[in-house]
Amino acid sequence: MAPVWTPPSPTSPTQVALPRSPVPSRPASPSGVEALPVELVISILTAAVQRGERRTSILSYMLTCKTFLAPARRLLHEQVLISTKAQAESLLAALKQDPSLPSATRRLTLLYSMKDGQESLPSRQQASRILKLMHNLRDLCLVGDEEDSKLWKSTLGQPATPGAENSFEYLEQLKTGKVRWDRLVDFLRKAPKLHTLDCTALYELSTEEGSDERPAASAEDSDDEADSDDQETSTRQHDQLSSHADSTYTHPSSAAGVEEDDDAELTVDRPPSPSPSLPSLKDVPTTFSLPFRSLTLNSPTLSDATTLALCTAVRGTLTSLALVRTTTLSRLGLLQLLSSLPNLLELELSGCNLPSPRSDDPPPPPSITTQQLSYPLDELATLCPFLQWLKLESDHVGSHNILTKLACLPLSSLSIGFSWPRLDAEAIRVALDRIPSGRLDSLFVSAGMKWTSAQLDEVRRTCESVGTLFVGEPMEPPVLLF
């Protein structure tokens, strides 16, 4: 019988016990809030902030946990309002401490002062330092006590250095106060994506034809020009401004002609010599374009040629135009301006005082009649056939039949507030009868119409019958002084 093999016993000398190597412990994976990506944390905080006060809510979230600290800080600096010197210094210190904050700031509202005596508002130097650090702005609002030529020259209007970081490369909206026309154009070369411009007191530097005297300017502006004459001359001599790869700007001063005076320290734009009529649309240079969709000019002091050149540059994309309290634009200039914007969807004319044509004025082009020159807005249905929103609060720009003529437009909202021509409730009823039912969504009548409550009630009943929302302001009673 063959022997049977049996396994060795545990105590057999042939069995050797090998030492076990220790198993490395895996790091604990983050769980809970710590596992969320930064983008998701910012989205959560953004949704939460919309339900409460923005700054208070964000400051509370910064104290929640360490994971919320950095995203909440970025969210806190996304919209910045600077109105005091202490806030400006605090922002500059935060930007210096955290290099990622400048890229997080998208909206900046900056109240500044160019006067040394202002102790509360940030100084021009602080404003300039802040603007140079912000390189990812989308919305910029500048509010100064008056025009600050040094800020525009040193920061905003300074030509971009090749290879340097452009602070306004992604800027989309700009709201600014008093600024000179050529300095604004110098700024536009650095903001190729700007599509919304709201400018107050835009003006151009010019002298009367044949005069060698330098135009009047403020003391601050005069000192500024004397300090850096070479910089100003080189800035204003360029003729081509690149907005993007497929668009090219031409300096608008070429429309009026630029002359160099050896006796003066500043190159001055001189208006063209008097001609039988103002330049027509075909005479305005169209070699530059701006991608504006919305343009607001508040109290501008521009010539007809400059205003027309600006509107011609934006004719391809502009859909919203607002002219507020302008007194330098003629009625012929308004007609030519509107004819250059056939795709306009929104138009506002508020507080504009357009001078009436006089017998000694140069004759208009043969294509414009005296009736059109006297009442330019009667031609809106022909000039801007796609208007959907209209606010008309300027006198002496339309005839007594203006509302009937406006009924041909595809308006969805109409706001009127002019005292001349004098209209009554019957004129509104006749105009509403010509508008298809349901097309006009809202009608607003401001106190400038000087209507009584009884007249407003009559118009309200007419609007209710055609399904139009009506809002009216009655005429304010006169104040009796004893």
> How many angstroms separate the Cα of 313 from the Cα of each of 29, 58, 318, 355?
58, 42, 9, 25
What local confidence, expressed as pLDDT, does residue 320 receive?
Answer: 97
Q: What is d(CA 472, CA 295) in angstroms, rounded to the nearest whole number?
A: 27
What local confidence, expressed as pLDDT, does residue 178 receive?
Answer: 86
Count of Cβ atoms closer than 10 Å to residue 434 Cβ: 12
Count of Cβ atoms closer than 10 Å to residue 78 Cβ: 17
What local confidence, expressed as pLDDT, does residue 234 receive?
Answer: 35
Written as tens digits, the pLDDT of the chain (482 aa) is: 566 666 665 555 555 555 666 656 555 555 556 667 766 766 766 666 655 555 556 666 666 677 777 777 777 788 888 988 899 999 999 888 888 888 888 999 988 876 655 567 888 888 888 988 888 899 999 887 666 667 777 677 665 555 456 678 899 999 998 888 888 888 888 899 999 999 998 988 763 333 333 333 443 444 444 344 434 433 343 333 333 323 333 333 333 333 333 333 333 333 333 333 333 333 444 456 889 999 999 999 998 988 998 998 999 899 999 999 999 999 999 999 999 998 999 999 999 998 887 777 778 888 888 888 889 999 999 999 999 999 999 988 888 889 989 999 999 999 999 988 888 888 888 998 888 888 899 999 998 888 888 989 999 999 998 889 999 998 877 666 55
Q: Which residues sit opposite 141 in a β-bridge?
A: 109, 175
What local confidence, expressed as pLDDT, does residue 34 receive?
Answer: 64
Residues 345-377 as b/e (b if ≥16 CB within 10 A, e otherwise) read bbbbbbbbebeebeeeeeebeeebeeebbebbb
Query: Coil, strand, or helix at residue 303?
Result: coil
Contact 364, 373 (CB under 8 A): yes
Query: Coil, strand, or helix at residue 144?
Result: strand
Q: What is d(CA 189, CA 319) in angstroms, rounded to the nearest whole number?
A: 22
Q: What is d(CA 317, CA 171) in angstroms, rounded to the nearest whole number?
A: 17
CA torsion through residues 34, 36, 38, 42, sign: negative
Contact 265, 226 (CB under 8 A): yes
What local confidence, expressed as pLDDT, does residue 285 receive?
Answer: 45
> Is 156 buried (19+), middle (13-18) or exposed (0-12) by CB count in 10 A?
buried
Contact 337, 307 (CB under 8 A): yes
Residue 301 gets which letter from DSSP? B
Q: What is d(CA 416, CA 422) in angstroms, rounded to the nearest whole number?
A: 12
> How many angstroms separate the Cα of 23 from the Cα of each of 18, 20, 26, 29, 30?
15, 9, 9, 18, 21
225 alpha carbon, distance to own chain's centre: 27
What local confidence, expressed as pLDDT, does residue 246 receive?
Answer: 34
What local confidence, expressed as pLDDT, does residue 181 receive?
Answer: 87
Contact 401, 378 (CB under 8 A): yes
The β-bridge relationship of strands 196-200 and 173-176 is parallel
What local confidence, expressed as pLDDT, does residue 286 receive?
Answer: 46
248 contacts: CB under 8 Å, gap ≥ 6: 240, 241, 242, 287, 288, 289
Query: Coil, strand, or helix at residue 145?
Result: coil
Q: What is d(CA 253, CA 331) in angstroms, rounded to the nearest whole number?
A: 23
Q: What is d(CA 185, CA 446) in angstroms, rounded to the nearest whole number?
A: 36
Q: Does domain 78-205+237-252 have CATH number 3.40.1350?
A: no
Q: What is d(CA 294, CA 286) in angstroms, rounded to the nearest whole number?
A: 19
